[in-house]
């Protein structure tokens, strides 16, 4: 399953969707449904771990938007190589570790794995070019 | 071109339309002096969303929400198309996604509760169904 860049992208998409589902579930547990179902005209800031999960999700979506182009290019041009596969695997592993590191507030680890995921993305761009 | 790719292009156009729908009233309300400025909080007197009228702010939130949805949907379409896994089911999911995202905008604008949330969930569910069908 982890043997092609495309399937890694697919799994990362599911991880991001699950993160979004967790955030929504957390909001339903901590904020009244009336507000959630309304048009949310007053801004409410998410507190504590839920706030962290929200920021982690936003960061994951940005990472997803950045990783999709090189993976698409590599797949369309049949440029897959051992290096590109490894970079995609490093990206996925780093982004998965990022989520608990953020939610549990593990200082240092979060920044470290974020950097790992970002560098893996850059490597994929270089390989795509 | 697969139906999923057609829908992806239309969803991109929807995002452009949502941009126009939001930025025209936003510019009329705030004035070009503010919108064309670097939008420093101290100069504007707050975040730009807080300065908009409630309904224009809803259009802005609907736009931002579609960015998140569109990024996930793009991934689903790319994977389904490139791995030749397009089926009538994934095509139906793609159209359901687009229909939901179109309906989401007026549902948000007019504050239709709980329909905005229900519609959002249809779009999200359709994306997940595409991802899972590509996985299995």
**Residue-level pLDDT at A39:** 93
Nearest C-alpha neighbor of A14 from the set A73, A99, A76: A99
Q: From CA A12, how far away is CA A73, in angstroms rounded?
A: 17
Q: Which of A73-87, B12-26, B43-57, B113-127 has the lowest mean pLDDT?
A: B43-57
Q: How far is CA B124 from the centre of its chain?
A: 11
Output A21-24 pairs: Cβ under 8 A, ≥24 positions apart: A22/A53, A23/A50, A23/A53, A23/A54, A23/A57
ipTM value for the complex: 0.90
Residues in chain A predicted with pLDDT less than 50, given as ranges, are none
pLDDT band at B54 (very low <50, low <70, confident <90, very high): very high
- Check which CATH number belongs to the domain holding A94 and give it: 1.20.120.550
Instruction: Domain count for chain B, please give it.
Output: 1
Omega of the bond prior to B114 within 30 degrees of 0, cis? yes
Render pLDDT for B3-39 as a digit per residue (tens, 0 to 9). Answer: 999 999 999 999 999 999 999 999 999 999 888 888 8
What is B77-88 written as a DSSP string?
A: HHHHHHTT---H
Average pLDDT of chain B to the nearest whole number: 94
Q: Please name the residue of chain A whose CA is at the shortest distance from the CA of residue B111.
A: A39
Q: Do B78 and A37 touch (CB under 8 A)?
A: no
Kindly state the average pLDDT of the residues B61-66. 97
Indicate if the pLDDT at residue B45 is higher than 90: no
Q: Which token pair is B64?
A: 């931002």
Q: Is A2 helix (H, G, I), strand (E, B) or coil?
A: coil
Contacts with A40 from chain B: Cβ below 8 Å: 61
Q: What is the pLDDT of residue B50?
A: 87
Please report, for the domain that includes residue B57, its CATH number.
1.20.120.550
Band (pLDDT 50/70/90 cuts) for residue B96 is very high
Of A6, A10, A39, the CB nearest to B111: A39
Q: What is the pLDDT of residue A2?
A: 64
- For residue B31, the SS3 value is coil
**Domains contained in chain A, number:** 1
Cβ neighbours of B61 in A, within 8 Å: 40
Containing structural domain, residue B105: 3-135
The pLDDT assigned to A1 comes to: 54
pLDDT of the residue at B46: 84
The residue segments making up the domain with residue A49 are 5-128
Residue of B47, B78, B112 to mutate for A, most A C-beta atoms under 10 A: B78
Select from B49, B100, B92, B91 the least CA-distant residue to B70. B100
For A69-78, B41-50, B78-87, which range has the lowest pLDDT when averaged over its residues? B41-50
């Amino acid at each position: 399953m982890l043997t092609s860049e495309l399937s890694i992208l697919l799994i990362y998409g599911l991880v991001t969707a699950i993160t979004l589902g967790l955030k929504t579930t957390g909001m339903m547990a901590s904020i009244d449904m009336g507000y959630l179902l309304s048009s949310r005209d007053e801004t409410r800031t998410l507190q504590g771990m839920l706030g962290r999960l929200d920021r982690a999700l936003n960061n994951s979506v940005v990472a997803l938007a950045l990783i999709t182009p090189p993976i698409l290019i590599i797949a369309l041009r049949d440029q897959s190589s051992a290096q590109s596969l490894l970079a995609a695997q490093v990206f996925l592993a780093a982004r998965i570790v990022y989520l608990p590191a953020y939610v549990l507030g593990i200082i240092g680890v979060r920044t470290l794995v974020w950097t790992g995921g970002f560098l893996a993305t850059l490597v994929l761009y270089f390989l795509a070019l | 071109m697969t139906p999923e790719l057609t829908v992806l292009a239309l969803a991109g156009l929807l995002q452009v339309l949502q941009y126009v729908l939001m930025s025209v009233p936003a510019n009329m309300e705030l004035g070009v002096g503010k919108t064309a400025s670097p939008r420093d909080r101290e100069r504007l007197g707050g975040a730009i969303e807080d300065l908009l009228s409630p309904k224009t702010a809803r259009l802005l939130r609907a736009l931002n929400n579609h960015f998140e949805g569109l990024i996930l949907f793009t991934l689903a379409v790319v994977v389904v198309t490139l791995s030749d896994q397009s089926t009538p089911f994934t095509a139906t999911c793609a159209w359901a996604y687009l229909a939901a995202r179109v309906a989401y905008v007026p549902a948000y604008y007019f504050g239709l509760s709980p329909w905005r949330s229900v519609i959002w969930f249809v779009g999200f569910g359709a994306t997940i169904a595409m991802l899972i069908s590509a996985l299995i």
